[in-house]
Amino acid sequence: MANDEKTQPTTGKPAVAPGAAPPPTPAEALSTAHQVEELGDKLSDCADSIHQRVMRDIRRRQGQDVPESEQAAARALLDAEMELRQRANRLYADAAACIVASLGQPQQHLIQLTMDAADKIRRITRIGDGITLVARLLGLAAAASTGQVVPILTAISALKMQVDIVAIDSAPAPPQAPSEPAASA
């Protein structure tokens, strides 16, 4: 049966690349999966026609009693229909597994991108600190222009605090790279 041949692809890569050839690209996998899916559709269609056929016979009886032999035939057809549906579902499951098997690399790449972005977000926060630092310096300059002690002292302490903040933000930069690897997925 066609489905039995298709049981193979689930474990490895589908017929496209036998042996240890490179894994299929997502596009290749998708097109293989699509073919498998179409085969599944054909089986589903067959099951549908069996059902229609059975229902047509039943309707022809117009509510009258259906002879035992005909009932048995209808039930046998129903069983066949059911089995076909399961075989179709098998192909759908195979197609799904085939799609999924090709997605490791794109997922890895996207996760890397989000990690890069997280790093950028951290750096943007630091730009903010830098701006405040510049502002504090300007503040000190303004205070100095008055020649009065209290504003100058206030400005100096504000500046010092900002320098500390920048230092704290900047310090852990080197070890932060390996801190959150992709881990899973």
Partner 1 sequence: MDLRRCLSCIILAASLVLGGCASTGQVSLAEVRQFADASARLGGYGELSRRYRDTYEREQPYLSPAADRIAKENDARRQAVYDDFVSIQKTVVLYMQTLSVLAGDARYDLSDRIDDLGSGLKANAESGLQQRQIAAYTSLSRLLTRVIASGYQNRSVETMVRDGDADVQVLLEAMIALTRLYAKTNDNEKKTVLGIFDVEIPFSTKTSDRMLVTLAKVHYLNKSTEYKLVDKRYDLALQGLTKVAQGHQKLRENIHNLQGDEVRKMLLAYARDLTKLRDALSD
Under rule CB under 8 A, residue 125 binds partner 1: yes
Q: Is 35 in the site for partner 1 (CB under 8 A)?
A: no
For the residues of 67-112, what is the DSSP string, one character each?
PHHHHHHHHHHHHHHHHHHHHHHHHHHHHHHHHHHT-HHHHHHHHH
Residue 30 interacting with partner 1 (CB under 8 A)? yes
Binding to partner 1 in span 53-72, by CB under 8 A:
54-55, 58, 61, 63, 65-66, 71
Query: For partner 1, which residue of 2, 78, 161, 171 counts as binding (CB under 8 A)?
Result: 78
Q: Does 33 bind partner 1 (CB under 8 A)?
A: yes
- Give 21 or 150: the residue with its C-beta nearer to partner 1: 150
We find the least distance from the C-beta atom of residue 161 to partner 1, in angstroms, to be 12
| Closer of 21 and 185 to partner 1 (Cβ) | 185
User: Please, which residue, 17 or 80, has the CB nearer to partner 1?
Assistant: 80
* 34 binding partner 1? (CB under 8 A): yes
> In angstroms, rounded to a whole number, what is the distance separating the alpha carbons of residues 3 and 93?
12
- 92-111 binders of partner 1 (CB under 8 A): 92-97, 99-101, 103, 106-107, 109-111
Q: In b/e form, how buried is each residue of 70-95, taking b as 16+ CB within 10 angstroms?
A: eeeebeeeeeebeebbebbebbbebb
Distance, in Å, from the CA atom of 185 to the CA atom of 179, rounded to the nearest integer, reads 17
Q: What residues between 151 and 180 interact with partner 1 by CB under 8 A?
A: 151, 154-155, 158
DSSP string computed for 32-45: HHHHHHHHHHHHHH
Residue type at 69? Answer: S
- Under the criterion CB under 8 A, does residue 136 sit at the interface with partner 1? yes
**Residues 108, 70 contacting (CB under 8 angstroms):** no
